[in-house]
Amino acid sequence: MLKFALLGLLAQDPKHGYDLKNELEQALGGHWEINFGQIYTTLARLERDELVRVAAEDRDGRGKKTYRITAAGRKDLAAWFEEPVEKPRQLRDEFFIKWIVGKLAGQSDPMRIIDRQRQAYLTQLRDLTALTGRAGDPNVELMVEGAILHLQADLRWLDLCEERLERGELEKPRAAIRKE
């Protein structure tokens, strides 16, 4: 992901690694501090793949390089923009595994798992709603809204888990689509 972020920033004009970090942080509303090391390992990987090349190096030789995007880099970036994102947004996998494993192990009370999870989601939701209108950047704002909507869906899903559990529906096997 960082790969395309850096390519995108370099698409306009050549930049220092330091400039890249600043601009990226600014674009995200100044809420995220990006690790320098992360930036340089990514740049190194891009250079290896010939998607960027070093345009200039400071005379004092202390590694202050200016990077420029290559034609291959532009092509890669353009292809990335064209493609829709295939992967669905993250499922709350771990909770689901806890749910299944807890049932198999016969250890935890599923109701308690739900309650605790709801508490956690609600706390996250509270924190995120406290952010709306205060993130500073309209694009980041949009991301916050997205996260809120996801949390709301997660909470609804918990409701559904609870409802099915209460009705005892989770004990009965259902007709399922089986592999032939």
For CA atoms 136, 139, 141, 143, the dihedral sign is: negative
Tell me which residues in 58-97 interact with another protein (CB under 8 A).
Answer: 90
The structure tokens listed for 140 are 């980041």
Span of 28-36, 73-81, 93-101, 169-177 interacting with another protein by CB under 8 A: 28-36
Task: Write down the least CB distance from residue 50 to another protein, Å.
Answer: 24
Asked if residue 131 binds another protein (CB under 8 A), the reply is yes
Whole-angstrom distance, CA of residue 39 vs CA of residue 165:
47
Asked if residue 127 binds another protein (CB under 8 A), the reply is yes
Asked if residue 128 binds another protein (CB under 8 A), the reply is yes
The structure tokens listed for 95 are 């909770």
Whole-angstrom distance, CA of residue 21 vs CA of residue 76:
21
Whole-angstrom distance, CA of residue 48 vs CA of residue 43:
9
The structure tokens listed for 173 are 């096997």
Task: Write down the least CB distance from residue 24 to another protein, Å.
Answer: 9
Residue ranges binding another protein (CB under 8 A) = 1-2, 5, 28-29, 31-33, 90, 114-115, 118-119, 121-123, 125-135, 140, 143-144, 147-148, 151-152, 155-156, 159, 162-163
